[in-house]
Amino acid sequence: MGLKITLLILFFAVMIAVGLYCKKNSTDVRGFVLGGRAVGPWLTAFAYGTSYFSAVIFVGYAGQFGWKFGIASTWIGIGNAVIGSLLAWMILGRRTRLMTQHLESSTMPEFFGKRYNSSKLKIAASLVVFVFLIPYTASLYNGLSRLFDMAFGSYISYDTCVIVMAVLTGIYVIAGGYMATAINDFIQGVIMIIGIVAVIAAVLSQNGGFTESLNGLAEVELEGAAPGAFNSFFGPDPLNLLFVVILTSLGTWGLPQMVQKFYAIKSEKDINKGTIISTVFALVVAGGCYFLGGFGRLFTDKLTIDASGAIEGGFDAIIPTMLSGLPDVLIAIVIILVLSASMSTLSSLVLASSSTLTLDMLKGHVVKNMSERQQVLVMRILIVVFIAISAFIAINKDKLSAIADMMGISWGALAGAFLAPFLFGLYWKKTTKTSVWVNFMFGAGIMILNMLFRSSFPVIMQSPINCGVIAMLAGFVIVPVVSLLTPKPEIESVESMFSCYSRKVVVESRESLGE
């Protein structure tokens, strides 16, 4: 117990020290929100990865999808690495950095407003962020209760954990802004990599190693599934596995807190390095999490399962049960790992939310003239507000079932509304403002309807995950079709925006053979 608490105190002390150290870099909006657009490849890549993978992945998704798909759930982690990281950096990284700097936009809603010449569009995007991103922050605490019960028993309660995590995250984000978040993300990312490798090795050793664990999965029988389905290449349910891969991988392309990482990249070389680092990080952390979860059914004897086949405590109980037999040192590492995953994502979400609300809704609309100092102050105040809301929801999640349900569909709503308009906005000059409006309404609207009237949807769309995938993919039809049917944007304005891609640059001969 002394070891666990000591490691926690040391971890929190480092996070706060980094926040105070970075305070000098967060005196203006550019520094507070984007780190002065001078963040290197390692910090950017780790900030991207740690914002991507939270306790929701390690405890909730790994347990849930590992239980449903067996070892095939590893494909989700591979998809996260290839689609959610490698392709995201290759397709979005450079263009996002160039155009957002050219348009002088610091947030995704501000990009929409300037790219499509519409302040109303910027406000609409801000509202979508506010409605779906803020409640999503509360889901980051999911799974912590069981882990803390396993590790600390009655010494530290779940409510205490939530409050301490929220307060300490707020301190370093408020003090140091994006740069503090990026540096802490790097530290937390290193912890996540070491932790997941150590935990996988320890858990598999409990079942005789990798080969014996696979043989154990082959013996698991499930009504309606083929023998050996849980250690097969695509698992017992390939179609729903594909939907999960698409949502958790392609969906990151439309999430404000993820895309905003590209705004802060320092140079071309940093993009190339960041692409590799981010992909390897995702492969180890996400691939490791889902790989670990794939062996969850080997611990059925330690879980309480009722007559209907439901697990007592839900899917969040699976990973803690798998870890309960580990040595105290490894359990302490797991606690730090999950806290790292949660705090890094929480800091990214509240920074994205506060900057969006300040720069895109309050500045110029509610408050006509807002100085740089006032903007930073308001963002810091809103960070406190948003973290307090997330902590309140997390502590009272059993009483706020509707909001908890909203968290589950927030990923699909945000990506469904933003992915296609953002991607087409970077690449296609003929994208129209009307197509963006239609996509916003469809992407966010269908997910709200799914939450309210789920039983009325077709069977395949009753799952929020499947519905979110359809919302995202529909955008690739809605945006080009509506753009072709509606008045074209002003040519001179669009050419001016895309001129950032045509600017001539000089590079060293080792990077180009020349003419």
Question: Reduced to 3 states, what is the DSSP secondary structure of residue 363?
Answer: strand
What integer pLDDT is reported at residue 165 of this predicted model? 82
Residues in the chain: 515
What integer pLDDT is reported at residue 230 of this predicted model? 83
Distance CA 478, CA 136 (A): 26
What integer pLDDT is reported at residue 172 of this predicted model? 85
74-81 and 238-250 helices cross at what angle (nearest 10)? 30
Answer yes or no: are the C-beta atoms of 370 and 378 closer than 8 Å: yes
Question: Which residues partner with 311 through β-bridges?
Answer: 305
What integer pLDDT is reported at residue 404 of this predicted model? 47
Burial classification of residue 216, based on how many CB atoms lie within 10 Å of its CB (0-12 exposed, 13-18 middle, 19 or more buried): middle
* Per-residue pLDDT in tens (0 to 9) along the chain, 515 residues: 777 778 888 888 888 888 888 887 677 777 777 776 667 788 888 888 888 887 777 777 888 888 889 899 999 999 999 999 999 999 999 999 899 989 988 889 899 999 999 989 999 998 898 888 777 777 777 656 667 766 776 677 778 878 888 888 888 888 888 888 888 888 888 888 888 888 888 888 887 888 888 888 888 877 666 777 888 888 888 999 999 999 889 999 999 888 888 887 877 788 888 899 999 999 999 999 899 888 888 888 887 777 777 787 777 778 888 887 778 788 888 888 777 877 777 888 888 888 877 877 777 767 777 787 888 888 888 888 888 888 887 787 665 555 445 666 888 899 999 999 999 999 999 999 999 999 999 999 999 898 888 889 998 888 888 999 999 999 999 999 999 999 999 999 999 999 988 888 777 776 666 65
Answer yes or no: are the C-beta atoms of 46 and 189 closer than 8 Å: yes
Distance CA 216, CA 300 (A): 12
Burial classification of residue 124, based on how many CB atoms lie within 10 Å of its CB (0-12 exposed, 13-18 middle, 19 or more buried): buried
What integer pLDDT is reported at residue 223 of this predicted model? 67
Give the number of other CB atoms < 10 A from CB of residue 164: 15
- CA distances in angstroms from 67 to 23, 51, 133, 355, 386, listed in the order given: 44, 24, 27, 38, 33
Question: Reduced to 3 states, what is the DSSP secondary structure of residue 117?
Answer: coil
Answer yes or no: are the C-beta atoms of 337 and 53 closer than 8 Å: no
Distance CA 26, CA 22 (A): 7
Any idea which fold 2-365+372-502 has?
Sodium/glucose cotransporter (1.20.1730)
Distance CA 47, CA 189 (A): 8
Nearest partner of 373 among 31, 19, 113, judged by Cα:
31
- Which amino acid, residue 394? A
Answer yes or no: are the C-beta atoms of 49 and 77 closer than 8 Å: no
Estimate to the nearest angstrom the gap between the alpha carbon of 137 and the chain centroid.
Answer: 10
- CA distances in angstroms from 145 to 83, 120, 316, 335, 427, listed in the order given: 32, 41, 9, 11, 44
Answer yes or no: are the C-beta atoms of 193 and 281 closer than 8 Å: yes
- Which amino acid, residue 462? Q
Answer yes or no: are the C-beta atoms of 181 and 351 closer than 8 Å: yes
